[in-house]
């Protein structure tokens, strides 16, 4: 049902998108838990002329991601209990927090020579805000006293869509390390948001 961009423009490879979504749908409707949020986060598609509209595919993946997280959250809570589920999130939070307690501008490796890297100050500020949001959601005291209106903006989708100013090489953070860390943060935020959705149903 997704639209194509037209013969003169580039969109996502149609066959790759169809194959992934079909495989994901089969896994989702089955009783197994093989399809994970990480699988959806890390999927990538080639570009081709007259491919699928990128924004529509991304929106479909976002809906799929929410559905998968909700399914896993419901399963975990029903089979292991809310206390265990929350304890696991707190363990992940402590690991993320330990990493962030390093000195600012030294939390991640510097970028490689002549390759793009992320602005250190922007990354550090976002990490502080994310961890404060997670802390408050878990009933803990925030470490950086982020203002409440900023915390309201920090959601999994917001973090996934963030764009940093690019630097070069060692003047910024290594992009792969930052992306890996932020993806872990997104998974925690998604679980917390999923719990809220399930609780409100």
Determine the Cα–Cα distance for residues 37 and 39; give it in Å rounded to an integer: 5
Q: How far apart are CA 11 and CA 7, in angstroms?
A: 10
**How confident is the model over 79-113, as pLDDT tens digits?**
999 999 999 999 999 999 999 999 989 999 999 99
Model-level pTM? 0.86
CA separation for the pair 120, 182 (Å, rounded): 14
The pLDDT, as a whole number, for residue 199 is 84
Q: What is the pLDDT of residue 31?
A: 73
Q: Which pLDDT belongs to residue 131? A: 98
Q: What is the 3-state secondary structure (H, E, C) of the chain?
A: CCCECCCCCEEECHHHHHHHHHHHHHHHHCCCCCCCHHHHHHCCCCEEECCECHHHHHHHHHHHHHHHHHHHHHHHHHHHCHHHHHHHHHHHHHHHHHHHCCCCCCCCCECCCCCEEECHHHHHHHHHHHHHHHHHHCCCCCCCCCCHHHHHHCCHHHHHCCCCCEEEHHHCECHHHHHHHHHHHHHHHHHHHHHHHHHHC
- Please report the pLDDT score of residue 201 as a whole number: 61
Per-residue pLDDT tens listing for the chain (201 residues) = 799 999 999 999 999 999 999 999 998 888 777 888 989 989 999 999 999 999 999 999 999 999 999 999 999 999 999 999 999 999 999 999 999 999 989 999 999 999 999 999 999 999 999 999 999 999 999 999 999 999 999 999 999 999 999 999 999 999 999 999 999 999 999 999 999 988 876
At 33 the pLDDT is 74
């Amino acid at each position: 049902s997704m639209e194509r961009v037209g013969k003169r423009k580039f969109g996502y490879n149609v066959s790759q998108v169809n194959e992934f979504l079909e495989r994901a749908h089969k896994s989702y409707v089955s009783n197994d838990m093989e399809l994970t949020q990480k699988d959806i986060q890390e999927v990538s598609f080639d570009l081709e002329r007259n491919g699928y509209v990128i924004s529509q595919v991304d929106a479909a993946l976002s809906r799929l991601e929410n559905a998968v997280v909700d399914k896993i959250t419901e399963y975990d809570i029903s089979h292991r209990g809310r206390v265990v589920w929350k304890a696991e999130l707190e363990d992940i939070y402590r690991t993320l927090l330990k990493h962030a307690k390093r000195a600012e501008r030294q939390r991640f490796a510097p970028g490689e020579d002549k390759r793009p890297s992320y602005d250190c100050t922007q990354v550090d500020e976002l990490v502080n805000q994310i961890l404060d949001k997670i802390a408050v959601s878990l009933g803990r005291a925030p470490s950086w006293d982020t203002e409440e209106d900023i915390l309201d903006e920090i959601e999994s989708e917001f973090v996934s869509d963030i764009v940093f100013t690019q630097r070069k090489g060692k003047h910024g953070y290594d992009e792969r390390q930052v992306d890996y860390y932020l993806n872990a943060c997104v998974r925690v935020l998604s679980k917390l948001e999923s719990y809220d959705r399930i609780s409100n149903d």
